[in-house]
Amino acid sequence: MDFNDLSRQIADMFPRLSPQLQRAAHHVLQRPDDVALKSMRKVAADAEVHPSTMVRLARAFDFESYTGFREPFQQRLRLRPTTYLDRARDLQECGAGEEASILLRDVVTTHGANLRECFEINGPDTFLACADALSEARRIFVVGVRGYYPVAFFFHYVYRMFRPNSILIDGRGATLIDDLRVIDSDDVILAISVHPYSYESVKAVEYAKKRGATTVVVTDSLVSPLVESGDNVLIANDKSPSFFHSVAPAMAVVESLIVLMVARGGEETLCAIEDSERHLREVKAYWNQSVKPTGKSLRPRGPRSP
């Protein structure tokens, strides 16, 4: 049920509600943003009703809990065009003083829900199809800009510990499309972007598709402009109480792809990771690294010299 349907139902049933439920219903229709952003106790206090009244209001409209009742209000807020400044102002209004602890709990709850939904929506088969496409690529061109550059870089950095064929396209000097000039049908582009979608990322996927490359996209919706050119699509919800979207689900998605590729990579992958670890030790990449690995090397030993 979306917000418009729920608001019409509330308006239709309003005359038949008890006085306390009417007070609560009037408040949620007058202050829908508060329902989406504030805790149930805070909304109840503002409406001058007991918190249990909010639960009874939710059940009056066939919701099992207040959390379910709150979802159409949150969806309305997500779909409403807002600026970062608007959301930052909401944060200051809702997260000041005693509400700060509630806001922090909301961050944890939202991130947990994002991750659960992410893996439920996509399913193992979708993840495996994307991992297979990446594993079979001659080269992987990785695209993520602005807030999603760290996700792209994370994939590129960790992937190169066991395979050398990743190319991070970061668009330095406005050369993002230039760097894709050599992409062809043996290659894969991995692009990560959510609303508001990066112009460069959308164009990069479109360009790669025209060149015959396989496209793997990580985005937030099936109506994302990246989906139209996506051969393989993974949905990563980016809901967040913050003024900025959450990158945690997208990070979990690319980490999962790496997990699958390593798990199915065989001896060659293990040897490559062993070489990467040896290199990191040799260049003293980590502080005070004094513990040496134990056990036999994975690489076969050649014949001893006489």
Alpha-carbon span 286 to 157, nearest angstrom: 16
Amino acid code (one letter) for 151: V
- Look at the block and give the residue holding tokens 């989906």: 227
| pLDDT band at residue 33 under the 50/70/90 scheme | confident
Residue 83 in domain? no
Based on the domain organization, do 207 and 144 belong to the same domain?
yes
Which percentage of the chain shows pLDDT scores above 70? 87
Alpha-carbon span 34 to 49, nearest angstrom: 15
Based on the domain organization, do 46 and 133 belong to the same domain?
no
Q: Are the CB atoms for 127 and 256 separated by under 8 Å?
A: yes
pLDDT, one tens digit per residue, over 254-267 is: 999 999 999 999 99
Q: Please determine, for residue 303, whether its predicted confidence score (pLDDT) is greater than 50.
A: no
| pLDDT band at residue 113 under the 50/70/90 scheme | confident
Handedness of CA 291, 294, 298, 300 (dihedral sign): positive
Alpha-carbon span 304 to 133, nearest angstrom: 41
Based on the domain organization, do 252 and 119 belong to the same domain?
yes
Based on the domain organization, do 131 and 276 belong to the same domain?
yes
Query: What range does the domain containing 54 cover?
Result: 3-78
Residue 134 in domain? yes
Q: Please determine, for residue 195, whether its predicted confidence score (pLDDT) is greater than 80.
A: yes
Based on the domain organization, do 151 and 13 belong to the same domain?
no
The least confident of 15-24, 258-267, 285-294 is: 285-294
Based on the domain organization, do 68 and 125 belong to the same domain?
no
CATH of the domain at 230: 3.40.50.10490
Q: Which is more confidently placed, 56 or 244?
A: 56
Residue 193 in domain? yes
Residue 294 in domain? no
| pLDDT band at residue 193 under the 50/70/90 scheme | very high
The least confident of 76-90, 99-113, 230-244 is: 76-90
Per the structure block, which two tokens stand in for 160? Answer: 């190169």
Alpha-carbon span 86 to 281, nearest angstrom: 48
C-alpha dihedral (34, 35, 38, 41), degrees to nearest 10: 120
In this prediction, residues 244-254 reach a mean pLDDT of: 89
Residue 95 in domain? no
Q: Please determine, for residue 99, whether its predicted confidence score (pLDDT) is greater than 70.
A: no
Q: Please determine, for residue 5, whether its predicted confidence score (pLDDT) is greater than 90.
A: no
In this prediction, residues 180-197 reach a mean pLDDT of: 93
Alpha-carbon span 260 to 135, nearest angstrom: 10
Question: What are the respective helix, strand and coil percentages of the chain, to the nearest 5?
Answer: 60, 10, 35
Based on the domain organization, do 197 and 270 belong to the same domain?
yes
Based on the domain organization, do 206 and 257 belong to the same domain?
yes
| Residue closest to 244 by CA, chosen among 200, 179, 196 | 196
Residue 306 in domain? no
> Which of 6-15, 85-94, 286-295 is the most confident on average?
6-15
Residue 238 in domain? yes
Based on the domain organization, do 112 and 25 belong to the same domain?
no
Residue 305 in domain? no
Based on the domain organization, do 113 and 69 belong to the same domain?
no
The overall pTM is greater than 0.75: no
Alpha-carbon span 213 to 169, nearest angstrom: 15
Domain count for the chain = 2
pLDDT at 304: 42
Based on the domain organization, do 125 and 204 belong to the same domain?
yes
Q: Say which DSSP state 39 is in.
A: -
Q: Please determine, for residue 81, whether its predicted confidence score (pLDDT) is greater than 60.
A: no
CATH of the domain at 32: 1.10.10.10
| Residue closest to 191 by CA, chosen among 173, 170, 174, 172 | 170
pLDDT, one tens digit per residue, over 119-155 is: 888 989 999 999 999 999 999 999 999 899 999 999 9
Q: ∠75-81-82 over CA atoms, to 5°? A: 100
In this prediction, residues 67-96 reach a mean pLDDT of: 75
Based on the domain organization, do 238 and 144 belong to the same domain?
yes
